[in-house]
């Protein structure tokens, strides 16, 4: 029987564990549900995900549905679209929230087409009032766009960091299992090959100094490593453009298609603050940004804003710290 007024969160998992982004989306859904009177259900497409389902129901208090099939053991876009379409059409109508990751971005639009749903991607906030309105940043965070779904169903991809994964549940939600009899027609899962990229250590660093396009060229990487070298347990990261230009390896990229980090201190040098970069570092404890443009969006997310040309500022700053430590 179909139940309306539901917010369905589609979980993302790896090696049997639900990831942090799913917890953030669940917290976001619960907030949306509290302001609109809708119930939140976490759907876990997979095979043998009972333990993960129990854990998320206990942590969040949301009800959980294990959508099970041997064809869902490993993620495929075809499998997720088919199984979710079949399940949602039969049981749920309302809003479907999907983590805005490479996977989510891959299957969410196709799922929306199958459901005849609105599709709103890259959502980072919501406003209550006359119906549910979702917000998304545009032009590097300089504009906010607002969207109201115009269909009974809406598939929404939610940016990392849209909500903190914190819950005040009054007890665990229910966990139910539904088996799906989908067949994969066009896709064959061959396995996952890890990239040979060296471990840059950025996920465990206390301090990350990150380079953006503003460093100007590979010859200035020394300024970034020099600054990082002033701190214990530090590492060097970067924006995607820096990797695309071959100035640093992709293992150091921070952001939605790179690593997600939460060091105690994050120093962004010559980084504008695009949403895709912010998604990977906005959980940092204290953020310092060095940028010559006082209007740079990164400053809205920084605890200390240094409006300077980094070519002048960084060498002087590094020199000053070294002098103070020496004497
Ligand atoms: C699907 C998709 C996924 C993406 N994933 C990621 C991701 O995971 N991570 C990521 O980082 N990006 C990602 N991007 C790219 C992202 O949109 C931005 O293009 C990128 O983050 C910008 O990098 P940047 O800030 O280094 O460069 P820019 O946006 O070019 O900013 C450079 C900044 O440096 C400043 N500057 C210039 N010269 C100086 C100087 N001498 N001194 C001080 N400041 C200076 C400028 O004022 C400017 O603010 C993605 C984009 C897409 C479409």
How many CB atoms neighbour CB 179 within 10 A?
Answer: 13
- Is 138 a domain residue? yes
Q: What is the pLDDT of residues 202-223, one digit of tens each?
A: 888 999 999 999 999 999 999 9
Tokens of 302: 């920084």
**Please, what is the average pLDDT of the chain?**
92
Asked if residue 9 and residue 119 are part of one domain, the reply reads: yes
Q: Residue 107: CB partners within 8 Å, gap ≥ 6?
A: 77, 80, 81, 84, 98
What is the Å distance from ligand 1's center to 306 Cα? 17
274, 291, 292: which to mutate for ligand 1, most atoms within 8 A of CB?
274
Q: How many CA atoms lie within 13 A of 115 on its CB side?
A: 31
Q: What is the pLDDT of residues 21-66, one digit of tens each?
A: 899 999 999 999 998 889 999 999 999 999 999 999 999 999 999 9
Asked if residue 296 and residue 243 are part of one domain, the reply reads: yes
Closest atom of ligand 1 to CA, residue 257:
8
Structural domain total, the chain: 2
- Is 197 a domain residue? no
What does R_g of the chain's alpha carbons equal in angstroms? 22
Pairing mode of beta strands 39-46, 63-68: parallel
Asked if residue 119 and residue 9 are part of one domain, the reply reads: yes
Share of the chain above pLDDT 90, in %: 76
Q: Could you give the CA distance from residue 238 to residue 241 in angstroms, rounded to a whole number?
A: 8
Q: What CATH number corresponds to the domain at position 175?
A: 3.40.50.620
200 pLDDT higher than 70: no
- Is 237 a domain residue? yes
- Is 185 a domain residue? no
Q: Percent helix, strand and coil across the chain, each rounded to 5?
A: 35, 30, 40
Asked if residue 160 and residue 47 are part of one domain, the reply reads: yes
Q: Following DSSP, what letter does each residue of 170-200 receive, concatenated?
A: SS---EEEEE-----SS----------PPP-
Q: What is the pLDDT of residues 84-103, one digit of tens each?
A: 999 999 987 799 999 998 89
pLDDT value for 215: 97
pLDDT value for 199: 55
Q: What CATH number corresponds to the domain at position 321?
A: 3.40.50.1220
Tokens of 147: 């969207």
284: domain range?
A: 202-326
263 pLDDT higher than 70: yes
Q: How confident is the model at residue 160 (pLDDT cuts 50, 70, 90)?
A: confident
Asked if residue 81 and residue 214 are part of one domain, the reply reads: no
- Give the mean model confidence (pLDDT) for residues 276-305: 94
Q: How confident is the model at residue 326 (pLDDT cuts 50, 70, 90)?
A: confident
What is the Å distance from ligand 1's center to 292 Cα? 14
266 pLDDT higher than 90: yes
Asked if residue 142 and residue 261 are part of one domain, the reply reads: no
What is the Å distance from ligand 1's center to 134 Cα? 25
Nearest CA to ligand 1 atom 49: 272
- Is 223 a domain residue? yes
3 pLDDT higher than 70: no
Asked if residue 118 and residue 216 are part of one domain, the reply reads: no
- Give the mean model confidence (pLDDT) for residues 116-137: 90
Place of tokens 């990164």: 298
Asked if residue 127 and residue 161 are part of one domain, the reply reads: yes
Asked if residue 213 and residue 135 are part of one domain, the reply reads: no
| Adjacent-strand bridge partners of 235 | 208
Closest atom of ligand 1 to CA, residue 258:
8
Last residue of a domain, one of 148, 179, 210: 179
pLDDT value for 1: 57
Closest atom of ligand 1 to CA, residue 297:
49
Q: Could you give the CA distance from residue 30 to residue 88 in angstroms, rounded to a whole number?
A: 19
Tell me if 260 sits within 8 A of 160, measured CB to CB. Answer: yes
Q: How confident is the model at residue 306 (pLDDT cuts 50, 70, 90)?
A: very high
What is the Å distance from ligand 1's center to 99 Cα? 22
Asked if residue 161 and residue 117 are part of one domain, the reply reads: yes
pLDDT value for 11: 98
198 pLDDT higher than 80: no
pLDDT value for 91: 85
- Is 73 a domain residue? yes
Place of tokens 């876009």: 77
129 pLDDT higher than 80: no
208, 276, 288, 294: which to mutate for ligand 1, most atoms within 8 A of CB?
276
Kindly report the backbone phi and psi dihedral angles of residue 237, in degrees, each rounded to the nearest multiple of 5, phi listed first: -125, -175
- Is 196 a domain residue? no
Tell me if 207 sits within 8 A of 228, measured CB to CB. Answer: yes
Asked if residue 208 and residue 174 are part of one domain, the reply reads: no
Asked if residue 210 and residue 78 are part of one domain, the reply reads: no
196 pLDDT higher than 70: no
- Is 137 a domain residue? yes
- Is the full-model pTM beyond 0.85? no
Tell me if 291 sits within 8 A of 278, measured CB to CB. Answer: no
197 pLDDT higher than 60: no
Tokens of 304: 């200390």
């Amino acid at each position: 029987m179909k139940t309306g007024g539901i917010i369905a969160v589609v979980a993302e998992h790896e090696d049997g564990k639900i990831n942090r982004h799913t917890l953030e989306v669940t917290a976001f859904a619960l907030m949306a549900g509290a302001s609109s009177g809708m119930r939140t259900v976490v759907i876990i497409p997979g095979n043998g995900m009972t333990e993960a389902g129990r854990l998320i129901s206990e942590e969040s208090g949301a009800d959980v549905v294990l959508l099970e099939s041997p064809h869902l053991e490993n993620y495929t876009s075809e499998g997720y679209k088919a199984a979710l379409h079949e399940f949602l059409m039969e049981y749920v109508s309302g809003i479907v929230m999907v983590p805005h990751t490479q996977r989510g971005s891959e299957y969410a639009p196709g799922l929306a087409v199958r459901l005849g749903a609105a599709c709103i991607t890259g959502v980072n906030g919501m406003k209550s009032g006359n119906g549910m309105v979702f917000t998304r940043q545009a032009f590097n965070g300089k504009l906010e766009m607002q969207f109201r779904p115009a269909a009974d169903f809406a598939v929404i991809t939610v940016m990392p960091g849209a909500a903190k994964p914190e819950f005040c549940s009054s007890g665990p939600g229910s966990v139910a299992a539904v088996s799906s009899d989908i067949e994969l027609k066009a896709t064959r899962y061959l396995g996952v090959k890890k990239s040979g990229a060296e471990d840059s250590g950025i996920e465990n660093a206390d301090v990350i100094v990150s380079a953006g396009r503003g460093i100007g060229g590979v010859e200035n990487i020394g300024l970034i490593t020099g600054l990082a070298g002033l701190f214990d347990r530090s590492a060097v990261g970067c924006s995607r453009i820096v990797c695309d230009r071959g100035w640093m390896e992709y293992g150091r990229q921070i952001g939605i298609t790179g690593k997600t980090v939460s060091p105690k201190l994050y120093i962004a040098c010559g980084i504008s603050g695009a949403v895709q970069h912010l998604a990977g570092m906005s959980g940092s404890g204290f953020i310092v940004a060095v940028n010559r443009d006082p209007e740079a969006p990164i400053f809205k997310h920084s605890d200390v804003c240094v409006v300077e040309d980094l070519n002048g500022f960084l060498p002087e700053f590094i020199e000053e710290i070294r002098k103070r430590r020496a004497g």
